[in-house]
């Protein structure tokens, strides 16, 4: 797991019985927030070298844009998998295409792309080792109810305090 915020930690909880061992890297996660079953890795290159499945859970910042480049992918073991359900622009799509074409990556699963909807001529869309979901993997009845609850709470809190609880700034929720 690269990034162990709320969503990364939840996925680690779900994945632990399936994989048996979870390795995590998150330089910003406080010591008290690490799960007992997630082995903390001190640096990203070491995590990549040891991981057969890498799942990204990062915000899109200047330092994370295209973090998954040729160097990142080359550090992963041959035959490994990449999963991205956070931000599309974390991945250099040309580098991903190359890693899939060469067979270095056995596969990739993406819920997001840098441009949505993607241009139909994007060659990666046709790759046989790419699983692409329609950026709706978050959707469930529970998530829909929570979304409505938070929207209503925003209105109530704005009326009471002059500020909503859940603010969206420059495309990122805070």
pTM surpassing 0.85?
no
Q: d(Cα 38, Cα 139) in Å, to the nearest integer?
A: 26
63, 116, 121, 141: which one is catalytic? 116
Instruction: Determine the pLDDT at residue 133.
Output: 85
Q: What is the pLDDT of residue 171?
A: 46
Query: Is 57 a known active-site residue?
Result: no
Annotated catalytic, 135? yes
Catalytic residue flag (residue 87): yes
Residues of the chain with pLDDT under 50: 170-174
Which member of 9, 41, 57, 87 is catalytic?
87
| Coil, helix or strand at residue 34 | coil
pLDDT at position 170? 47
Answer for the pair 96, 73: CB distance below 8 angstroms, yes or no. yes
pLDDT tens profile 65-98: 999 999 999 999 999 999 998 999 999 999 999 9
Instruction: Give the pLDDT confidence score for residue 166 in this predicted structure.
Output: 78
Q: State residue 169's pLDDT score.
A: 57
> Is 55 in contact with 34 (CB distance < 8 Å)?
no
Neighbours of 132 (CB within 10 A): 15
What confidence score (pLDDT) does residue 106 get?
Answer: 98
Closest alpha carbon to 38 in 4, 69, 86, 65: 4
């Amino acid at each position: 797991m690269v990034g162990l915020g709320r969503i990364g930690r939840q996925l680690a909880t779900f994945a632990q019985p399936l994989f048996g061992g979870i390795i995590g890297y998150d330089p910003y996660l406080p010591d008290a927030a690490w799960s007992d079953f997630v082995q903390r890795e001190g640096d990203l290159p070491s995590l990549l070298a040891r991981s057969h499945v890498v799942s990204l859970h990062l915000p899109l910042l200047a330092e994370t844009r295209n973090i998954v480049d040729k160097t990142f992918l080359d550090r992963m073991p041959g035959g490994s998998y990449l999963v991205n359900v956070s931000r599309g622009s974390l991945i250099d799509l040309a580098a991903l295409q190359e890693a899939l074409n060469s067979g270095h990556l056995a596969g990739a699963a993406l819920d997001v792309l840098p441009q949505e909807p993607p241009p139909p001529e994007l060659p990666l869309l046709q790759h046989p080792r790419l699983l692409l979901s329609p950026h709706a993997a978050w959707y469930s009845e529970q998530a829909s109810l929570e979304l409505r609850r938070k929207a209503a709470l925003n209105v109530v809190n704005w009326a009471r305090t002059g500020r909503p609880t859940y603010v969206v700034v420059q495309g990122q929720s805070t």
